[in-house]
Amino acid sequence: MSEATQAALDARYAQVTGALRQRLLAFVTAAFTQSGSYRDADAEAFIDQVLPVVLGVQQQMGAVTDAYLAQTLATMFGGAAAPAGVELADDLRGTPPETVYRRPFVTVWTALSQGKDMTSAVREGQNRLTSIASTDLQLARTHATRQALGRDGRVRFYRRVLRGSFNCALCTIASTQRYHKERLMPIHPGCDCGVRPLAGDANPGQVINPRLLEAAHNAVAKGTGESDRGGRLPDYRDIIIDRQHGELGTLMALRRHEFTGPQDIPGQ
C-alpha cells in the first residue's frame, strides 16, 4: 500500500471523526448552557436530553473506526473491506453514564460553594463537560480498535497516528513507538490520536520513528530542562508512563500526575 493511499484513508477518517466530535461537543455545550438554575432537576433534565445522543455518537464512532480499519487492512493485504461490526457498552468507563454526565453540575455546585460567581462556576462545569464528552468518544475509538484488530490474525502491532496541527508531547513521543494490538490504546483526557495497523507479524522494534522521537525529546528538554535524547526505555518511562485509571483504563501521563479516587470526587 502506498503512503499516499494510507494518508488519504487517514485524512478521511480524521475528517469524519473530527466532525462527529465537534457536533457532539456543540450539542452538549448548548444543552448545558441552557440548564437554567443548575439545580438537581436541571441536572436530571440535562441527562435525559443529552445521554441518548452521547451514546448514539459513541456507537457511530465505533462503526466509523471499524470501517476505517477494515478498509486499511483490505488495502494492506488485499480483498474486500468488510467491517464485522463492534459492540460497545454504554458504560465504557465502567461507571453508569448517568453518573458521569451529572459531574459537570457537581463542578458548578462545588465552585459556587467556594465563593465563585455563577459565570465562573458554569464555565468550570462546561470545561468538565467537554472533557468528559471528548474522552468518551476517544474511549469508543479505542474499544472499537481493540475489537477490530483483535479478530484479524494478520496484524500483531499498531502505531498511534497524531491528529490535527497541535499534539501534546505525550502523544507525540507515543506515536514513535509500536504497540501490541492486545493492549487498549493508552489515552489522556482530550486525546484524539488515531491508530494504524502495522503490516505483517514481524516485530519492527520498540521505536519506529527515531527522528520524531529525537525531535520530541529536544522539545521536552527545551521546555523542561531535561529529557532522554537517546529514547532508552527506562528514561522513556520517566517521561511517559502508563497509569491505570479506575474508569478510563490506561492513561498516558507525566510521572508527576496523580489520579483521585471516588472519595475525592465531590458529590459522588
pLDDT in tens, 9-33: 888 998 999 999 999 999 999 999 9
> pLDDT grade, residue 196 (50/70/90)?
confident
- Residue 240 pLDDT: 55
If one counts the domains in the chain, the total is 1
User: CA-to-CA distance for 39 and 5, rounded, in angstroms?
Assistant: 52
Cell of 69: 480499519
List residues bridging with 159 in a β-sheet: 178, 196
Is 105 within 8 Å of 42 (Cβ atoms)? Answer: yes
Give the residue among 202, 197, 204 at the shortest CA–CA distance from 146: 197
- Residue 81 pLDDT: 85
HSE at residue 221, side-chain half, CA atoms within 13 A, is 13
3-state SS class at 115: coil
Mean pLDDT of the 241-259 span = 68
- Residue 223 pLDDT: 60
The whole-model pTM stands at: 0.83
- Residue 236 pLDDT: 42
- What is the enclosing helix (H) or strand (E) of 179? strand 178-180
Residue numbers of the domain that contains 154: 3-264
User: CA-to-CA distance for 172 and 131, rounded, in angstroms?
Assistant: 20
Mean pLDDT of the 148-173 span = 83
